[in-house]
Chain A
Amino acid sequence: MRATSLPGIVREPQIDDVPETDQPWIVIVWNDPVNLMSYVVFVFQKLFGYSREKATRLMMQVHHEGRAVVTSGARHECESSVARLHAYGLWATLQHDE
């Protein structure tokens, strides 16, 4: 998350600032009939450090709505998350934030 400047304080641009135009990317996990619900909860907790409550809520969204946004960030971060989800056998994709 970008730090916001306090009003009246000029913040000097830093060399490693994320460009304003860099759209956030989102990672979507899709439902499939093989993966156990408990497995999906485990993967969400293990990979993203989510609470049981949040991991379960996201899993239920995948189960009932067919998909859920599970994380967001820069493109390379989301590509990495997708690869790790695929290693667990989940079906995940990334796209620009909706």
Chain B
Amino acid sequence: MTGQWWSCGQDGRVHLRLVADEAATILGLMHEVREILTGAADDPIMQRLFPRAYLDPTEESAEQTWRALAGPDLLRERLDRLRRLAGHLEPVALGEHTAPLVLGEEAEADWMGALNDIRLTLGGAIGVSDDHAADDEPDDDDPQGPAWHLYHVLTYFHGELIDLLLDRLPEAGSDDI
């Protein structure tokens, strides 16, 4: 199965073909996510990336305990995967690495999570909502037009990887709920 960017190599591993400009664009977006992650906790995008576990106000104590334990690990995981991916992308963006990137299992998980963080961050910034759907075409004079276009491209980019990884998952499972 071969898409525009992602494919399965003969070695069974996921391959990623990016030109330098594409790698540079993704690096820029990863930098923006990193800025949010290391910025104000009350930023709306931070609140989306680190939502509450308990909606019941009588469980506030459990919520705070859970946040104190799970929050730092989740933040560290998000930052670490961005850092790892940046390490792979920088040589591509600089034109030093032109062969496809070959992903190990950790890199697959890194890309899946990081691309979703990028889309959540970009989507939050441009106001993606159920009313303002992602498949609405922006007006020609919309100053956020380029950001919407980028969001669309990222959606295809992420979607291609998801479809490839879904293809490799078994149909059957352990349905025990």
Known: A49-B173, A69-B177, A89-B120. A34 touches B128 (CB 8 A): yes
The answer to whether A95 and B56 touch across the interface, beta carbons within 8 angstroms, is: yes
Q: How far is the CA of A79 from the CA of B63 in the complex (A)?
A: 10
Min CB distance A38 to B, Å, is 5
Is B50 located at the chain interface by the 8 A CB criterion? yes
Q: Are B174 and A50 in contact (CB under 8 A)?
A: yes
Q: Which of A38, A55, A71 contacts B162 (CB 8 A)?
A: A38
Cβ of A82 and Cβ of B53 under 8 Å apart? yes
Give per-residue flags for B38-76: 1 if the beta carbon is below 8 A from chain A beta carbons, else 0. Answer: 000000000011111111100000100010001001100
Residues of the B chain whose Cβ atoms lie less than 8 Å from the Cβ of A35: 116
Shortest C-beta distance, A7 to chain B (Å), equals: 26
Among A51, A86, A87, A89, contact of B171 (Cβ-Cβ < 8 Å): A51
A28→B177 CA distance, assembly (Å): 13
CA distance A71 to B175 in the complex (A): 10
Say how far A77's CB is from chain B's closest CB, in angstroms: 13
| B116 with A88: CB separation less than 8 A | yes
Known: A51-B171, A89-B117, A95-B54. A70 touches B66 (CB 8 A): no
Q: Which residue from A34, A42, A87 sits with its C-beta under 8 Å from B123?
A: A34
In contact, B169 and A46 (Cβ under 8 angstroms) = yes
Interface of chain A, main secondary structure: mixed
B169 → chain A, closest Cβ, in Å? Answer: 5
Q: Is the CB of A34 within 8 A of B119?
A: yes
Knowing A33-B129, A95-B55 are in contact, say whether A88-B113 is a contact too (CB < 8 A).
Answer: yes
Q: A residues within 8 A CB of B56?
A: 95-96
Q: Which residues of A contact B124 (CB under 8 A)?
A: 34
Q: Which residue in chain A gives the minimum CB-CB distance to B134?
A: A33
- Report yes or no: A33 in contact with B128, Cβ–Cβ below 8 A: yes
The answer to whether A86 touches B162, judged by C-beta atoms less than 8 angstroms apart, is no
Whether B162 contacts A54 by the Cβ 8 Å rule is: no
Least distance between A35 CB and chain B CB atoms (Å): 7
Give the complex CA separation of A94 and B66 in angstroms.
11
CA distance A69 to B158 in the complex (A): 26
The 5 closest A-B pairs by CB, nearest first: A51-B173, A89-B116, A34-B123, A83-B70, A50-B173
- 8 more contacts with CB within 8 A, not counting A45-B166, A54-B177, A88-B112, are A34-B134, A42-B112, A42-B165, A51-B173, A72-B177, A79-B53, A89-B113, A93-B54
